C-alpha cells in the first residue's frame, strides 16, 4: 500500500523515481523508410519523425515498437511520452550495439530458469527476443482481432501488454513475460538515458525528477541543502533543456 505522501506525487513521477534507482542513465532485417500510421507516430517531435529510418527493425516491428512504447509511457499532463522523447530510436540503436547481440553476457549453455539475481538466463539475445516476440504477438493479434498489434485500439494493446507481463500470454519460441521485461526495461532506459543515446531528446525525464545531468560544478549549491537545483539539466554532449 502506498503512503499518503506518495499518493500526492503524480504516478509517472513515482514510476521514474523508482526506476532511476534501478538502472543506469546511460545503458550500456532490412529496413525501409516507414510510413507511420499509429497516432503516436504521427506526432511531430525531436525524438521520432517520419524521416527516421530504423537500422534493425523492419516496418511491422517498428510500428509495434512505436505503439508499445506509447502505451508504456504515454504523453500526458505530467510531460512528454516515450515516443515523443525518441525512445524507439534508442531501442533501435541498442540492437546494433554489443548489447543487442548479447556480447555483454555469458551466452553459452546450459540455459535454465532462475531468479533475476543470478543473471541473464535466456538463450535469446535482445535482437532475437524482439524479432521473435513481435512476430509471435502480431500473429496472435491477427488470430484474435484480424489486425496486427499496431492497428489495435489502445485498450486492446494494453490488454495484450498486461497479459504478457502477467505470463498469461506466452509463445513457443519466446516467453511472453521475458519479452515484456525486455521491452519495459529498454523503454525505461531510453526515457531516462542521456540524449546522445537516442531517447530523452528534450531532457524531459531529467527535468521531471530534478536530475541536473552532466553539470561539472555544483559548488554554488553546497550551502543550500535540501533545496531543488535551480538550473535545467545538461547532457553529456552539452545539450540543454529549454
What are the pLDDT digits (tens) for 118-143?
666 667 899 999 999 999 999 999 99
State the distance between the two ends of the chain, measured CA to CA, in whole angstroms. Answer: 37
Which of the four pLDDT bands, split at 50, 70 and 90, describes residue 111?
Answer: low
Look up residue 158 and give its DSSP letter: H
Average confidence score pLDDT of the chain: 81
Where do runs of H (alpha helix) occur along 21-86? 39-42, 59-72
pLDDT digits (tens, 9 = 90+) for 12-30: 656 555 554 444 433 333 3
pLDDT higher than 60, residue 202? yes
Of 225, 205, 207, 216, which Cα lies nearest the Cα of 47?
205
Cβ distance 75 to 81 under 8 Å? yes
Range with the poorest average pLDDT among 3-12, 156-165, 182-191, 194-203? 3-12
Long-range contacts of 71-75 (CB under 8 A, 24+ apart): 71/154, 71/157, 71/158, 71/161, 72/161, 72/183, 72/184, 72/187, 73/12, 73/187, 73/188, 73/191, 75/43
Gap between the Cα atoms of 8 and 107, Å rounded: 44
Q: What are phi and psi of 240, to 5 degrees?
A: -120, 155
Range with the poorest average pLDDT among 135-139, 163-167, 207-211, 216-220? 216-220
For 234, the 3-state DSSP assignment is strand
Q: Region 47-56: what's the mean pLDDT? A: 80
pLDDT digits (tens, 9 = 90+) for 57-109: 999 999 999 999 999 999 998 889 999 999 999 999 999 999 999 888 776 76
For 79, the 3-state DSSP assignment is strand
Q: Residue ranges per domain, the chain? A: 10-221
pLDDT for position 116: 64
CA-CA-CA-CA torsion for 113, 118, 122, 125, nearest 10 degrees?
Answer: 170
For residues 155-168, b (16+ Cβ closer than 10 Å) or e, as one string?
A: eebeebbebbbeee
Amino acid at each position: 500500500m502506498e503512503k499518503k505522501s506518495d499518493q500526492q506525487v503524480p504516478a509517472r513521477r513515482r514510476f521514474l523515481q523508482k526506476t532511476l534507482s534501478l538502472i543506469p542513465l546511460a545503458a550500456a532485417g532490412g529496413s525501409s523508410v516507414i510510413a507511420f500510421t499509429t497516432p503516436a507516430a504521427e506526432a511531430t517531435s525531436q525524438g521520432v519523425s517520419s524521416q527516421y529510418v530504423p537500422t534493425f527493425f523492419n516496418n511491422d516491428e517498428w510500428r509495434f515498437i512505436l505503439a508499445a512504447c506509447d502505451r508504456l509511457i504515454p504523453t500526458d499532463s505530467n510531460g512528454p511520452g516515450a515516443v515523443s522523447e525518441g525512445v524507439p530510436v534508442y531501442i533501435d540503436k541498442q540492437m546494433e550495439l554489443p548489447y543487442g547481440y548479447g556480447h555483454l553476457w555469458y551466452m553459452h549453455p546450459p540455459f535454465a530458469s532462475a531468479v533475476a539475481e543470478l543473471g541473464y538466463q535466456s538463450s535469446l539475445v535482445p535482437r532475437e527476443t524482439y524479432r521473435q516476440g513481435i512476430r509471435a504477438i502480431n500473429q496472435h493479434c491477427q488470430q484474435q482481432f484480424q489486425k496486427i498489434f499496431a492497428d489495435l485500439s489502445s485498450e486492446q494493446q494494453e490488454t495484450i501488454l498486461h497479459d504478457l507481463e502477467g505470463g498469461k500470454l506466452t509463445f513457443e519460441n519466446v516467453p511472453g513475460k521475458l519479452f515484456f521485461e525486455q521491452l519495459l526495461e529498454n523503454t525505461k532506459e531510453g526515457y531516462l538515458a542521456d540524449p546522445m543515446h537516442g531517447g530523452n531528446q528534450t531532457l524531459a525525464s531529467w527535468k521531471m525528477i530534478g536530475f541536473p545531468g552532466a553539470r561539472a560544478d555544483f559548488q554554488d549549491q553546497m550551502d543550500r541543502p535540501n533545496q531543488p537545483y535551480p538550473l535545467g539539466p545538461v547532457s553529456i554532449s552539452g545539450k540543454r533543456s529549454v
